[in-house]
Structure 1
C-alpha cells in the first residue's frame, strides 16, 4: 500500500508566503485605485472650481463693460445734451411773447441752432452704440471703412479682405464681432508699434473666421489666458466676454517665421442669419 505523503513544510511555507504576497499585492492595488480615484476627483473638483472662477471673472468683466458703457452714455447725455437743452429752454422762456419781433426771431434762431447741435450730439452717441455703416451695410463695409480710416492717417499700412461674406451675421453678432475688431485694433495701435495690420475673413468647417496679422509686439495664447485670470487686461476680458455671447473663440499666436503675430477669431456658422444676404 502506498500512503499519500503530506506536503513538506517548506512547500507549505512557500504557498503561504505566495498567497500572502498575492493578497498584499491585491490590497495594494485596491488602495492605489482608491487613492488614484480620490486624486482624480480632487483634481476634477479643483478644475471645476477654476472654471467657475473663470466664469465669474468673465461675467464680472461683461458686467463692468456694460456698466462702463451705461456710465459713458449717461455722462454724454448729462454733461453735453443736458446743458444744451437747458440753454435752448432759456431762449424759449415765457417772456419771449413780450419781446419785439426782431428779438423773438433771434431767440428762436439761437434755440434752433442749439437744438440742431443737440440732435447731432445724440446722433453721434447713437452711432457709437450702433455704427450706421455696420447697421446698413454689414460687417464687411464697417470693417473696410475702419481700416481705410486707419490707413488714411499715413502712420500705418492697414488693409482688410473678406473672401466668404455672402451671408451677413445676425445684427447682434455683427456688433459683437465689430467691437472685438475695434478693441484688437486699438490694442495693436497703442502697444505693438506695428508697420502694418491686415485682416482676412474666410469660412472653414462651418466656422466664420477672422484673422488679423501685424508685425509689431504681440502676445500668444498663454499670455492671453494669464491676463484673463489676472486683475489687469480689462480690454482682453471684454473681448473674451463678448465672444462667449456669440459662442466664439479667439487665439493669439506668433507665426512660425517669427516675423508677425496672428489673432484668429472663430464664430460658429449656426449664428449666420439665413434671411439676410450680402449683395456683393
Structure 2
C-alpha cells in the first residue's frame, strides 16, 4: 500500500508566514547590526580625529613656545650684553671729550673702539646661532662635521660623523631644520644619556634620505617618544617633531638588538623635498 502525505493549504500558509517573519527578522537584525557597526566606526573615527587634533595642538604649542623662547633669548642677549656695552662706549664718547687733553681723548677713543668691537662680535655670535655660517656656506655635512669635531675636541665624549652619499645639498631652509633637529638630539644625549660615544651617519636608499645617531648611553624607545609627545613634558622632543613635520619627515627611536646602544633615525622622503622646493 502506498501512503500519500497531503499538505493542506493551511499548513502551506503557516510555513510561508513564519518563513516571511524569519526573513524579515533576519533582515531587520542585519540592518540594525550595520547601523550599530557604522556608528561604532564613526565614533572610532571621531576619536582618532580628536586625538590627531590634540596632537596637532601639542605640536603647534611646542613650536610656538620654541619660537618664543628663541625670541626671548635673543632679546635677553641684546638687552643684557649689547645694551650695556653700547652704553659704556657712549660714556667714552661723551660731549666733554673735546675738552679733554689729547692723550685722554685717544685713550677714550681706543676704549670705545674696543667696546664696539666686542659688541660687533656679540651680534655676530647671535647671528651665527640663528644661521651657522658653515651651514650656510658649505652645507649640512660640513656643519654637522664641525659640530661633532667640537664635541669630540672638548674631551667629554668621543663624537664622530660620516656622510656616505650627500652629493646634492637640500634646500637651505630644510638643511637648517635638519641641523636644528640634530643639535636638539645631540644636546639631549649630552645632558641626559651619560654616553661615552655618539656617532652619526647619513645615507640614502631609493627616494629616502636618512640620518642616524648611535650612542651607548641611556635613551628612549619609540613608545617612550610617543608617550612624551602626548604629555605636557618633553618640550624638546615636541620641538623635534614639529620641525620635522614641516619636511613631512619621520623620526624613530629604538634600542639595538644587542642591547648595547640606542639608535635614532631621521627619515626624509626626497620627493617631498623636491615638492617643497617647487612650492617655494
TM-score of the two chains, using structure 1 as the length reference: 0.92
CA contact 1:88–1:115 (8 Å) conserved in 2: yes
Counterpart position of 1:278: none
- Residues 22-52 of structure 1, C-alpha deviations (whole Å, 9 max, x = no match): 2111101100001111111111112111111
Counterpart position of 2:138: 137
Q: CA deviation at 1:117?
A: 0.6
- The alignment partner of 1:168 has SS state of coil
Count how many residue pairs are aligned between Structure 1 and Structure 2: 270
Counterpart position of 1:68: 69
Higher relative contact order (CA 8 A, sep 6+): 1
- Residues 214-266 of structure 1, C-alpha deviations (whole Å, 9 max, x = no match): 12211111111111111000000000111111221111112222222111101
- Residues 60-94 of structure 1, C-alpha deviations (whole Å, 9 max, x = no match): 11011001000000000000000000110011011
User: Using the alignment, how far apart are the partners of 1:106 and 1:160 within structure 2?
Assistant: 49
User: Using the alignment, how far apart are the partners of 2:123 and 2:230 within structure 1?
Assistant: 37
User: Using the alignment, how far apart are the partners of 2:194 and 2:88 within structure 1?
Assistant: 45
Counterpart position of 2:3: none
Answering whether residue 238 of structure 2 is matched by residue 232 of structure 1, we say no
Answering whether residue 36 of structure 2 is matched by residue 38 of structure 1, we say no
Counterpart position of 1:22: 23
- The alignment partner of 1:240 has SS state of helix
User: Using the alignment, how far apart are the partners of 2:256 and 2:175 within structure 1?
Assistant: 27
User: Using the alignment, how far apart are the partners of 1:7 and 1:264 within structure 2?
Assistant: 79
Q: Which residues of structure 2 form unaligned runs of 5+? A: 1-5
Counterpart position of 1:262: 263
- The alignment partner of 2:169 has SS state of strand
TM-score of the two chains, using structure 2 as the length reference: 0.92
Answering whether residue 129 of structure 2 is matched by residue 128 of structure 1, we say yes
Q: CA deviation at 1:8?
A: 5.7
Q: CA deviation at 1:268?
A: 2.4
